[in-house]
Amino acid sequence: MSLPYILTKEEKRPAEDRLRELVRGDRALIVPELHDCMSAKAAEMNGFEVIMVSSGDLACAVTGIPDLQLLSIDDFVRVTEQITRMTPMPLIIDADDGFGLGRALNTQYGCMRIVQAGAAGVLVTDTSELARKGQLSIPDACLRFQAARAGLDANGRHGFLIARCDSDLVGEFDETVERCAAYIDAGADMLCILWMHKIPDRNLKLEMCRKLRDALNAKGGKYKDFPMWYPDLCGKAHDPEEVSMKDLNELGVYKLVGIHFSAHAAMLAMLDVGRHVMMEQTNDYVDYHFDETGYKTFTTMSMFGLTDGSWVEAENAFVREAQDSVAQRNADYFVRKDDVHDPDRK
């Protein structure tokens, strides 16, 4: 018998090593951008393999205000520790300008703490200091990425660094290529061209993706087939101008694709259910409305190791009577025979 949170031999490998192995694969992976343990658990149950904490969603969740870059390194460390303790999925942290003020030492120190807390790596931007509009100069941006690299490599670790470039790929192509090459030299493991998904025409998007890939490939060596992150793939079903996962896989270099949906979906569901609770003055709506999705549960608690008995087994090993186990009593009350946590399982 092992506790639910005890990692397997494979999962004990450093998270950054497992992430690099996934990135070396032959397909792009969707990365849910989320904010807490509950959203991480949902991602795990859905079968995703890599997750990211969105700084914007985290800010809304813990401060109740928009992302105005007020989160501290302690906020990021806390959520990193919480999530990495409950799931083996490699976790990436969106660190924006390097955990505040855009100061390189903040970036180095923050990245060191994030990896020590269990994260596989971070995404750091080349945006100007103090949240000013625009980008750092290439030399100053490289100093920030070098500081991130130093923090990620501290204490024998080798955290994964995604360097975000906020250039206009269409209007500033040559400079974007120069920045990308410089960021690779500064220690990046992956590049993210932020505004690529905002290019309005699908064919132009794909042309620019290919053009950037080919420009880096022409440099040879470590620049060839350098892995890329594609931001916020969305709207394909309703917008023929959006690229697809098939498109990205055919390009070959796009390995991770970030998508924000967790906090958005949670807020919409809470608003919808809360509206009906107020109108009907009962909790009946949540008991039947989601049946059409295929999921069925009396409470979210059953999804966290009660239905499969993992926490029940863990606690029952250390009590004389089963009903002295909190996990057992919770399972007896919250778990129902008609619960469905995986509608796709036949």
Contacts of 212 (CB under 8 A, 6+ apart): 169, 173, 176, 177, 180, 193
254 DSSP β-pair partners: 228
Domain count, the chain: 2
**Are 68 and 128 members of one domain?**
yes
Q: Is residue 200 part of a domain?
A: yes
**Are 44 and 160 members of one domain?**
yes
Contacts of 201 (CB under 8 A, 6+ apart): 241
**Are 304 and 219 members of one domain?**
no
Of 214, 234, 260, which marks where a domain is finished? 260
**Are 39 and 123 members of one domain?**
yes
How far, in Å, CA of 150 to CA of 310, rounded?
Answer: 39
**Are 192 and 311 members of one domain?**
no
Q: Is residue 254 part of a domain?
A: yes
Each residue's pLDDT tens digit in the chain (346 positions)?
346 666 676 777 899 999 999 999 999 999 999 999 999 999 999 999 999 999 999 999 999 999 888 899 999 999 999 999 999 999 999 999 998 777 899 999 999 999 999 999 999 999 988 778 889 999 999 999 999 999 999 989 999 999 999 999 999 999 999 999 999 999 999 999 998 877 888 899 999 999 999 999 999 999 999 999 999 876 655 566 688 899 999 999 999 999 999 999 999 999 999 999 999 999 999 888 888 899 988 888 888 889 889 899 999 999 999 989 999 999 999 999 888 989 988 5
What is the pLDDT at residue 223?
A: 98
How many residues does the structure list for the chain? 346
Q: Is residue 175 part of a domain?
A: yes
Domain extent for 303: 294-341
**Are 69 and 124 members of one domain?**
yes
Q: Is residue 7 part of a domain?
A: no
At 189, which CATH number?
A: 3.20.20.60
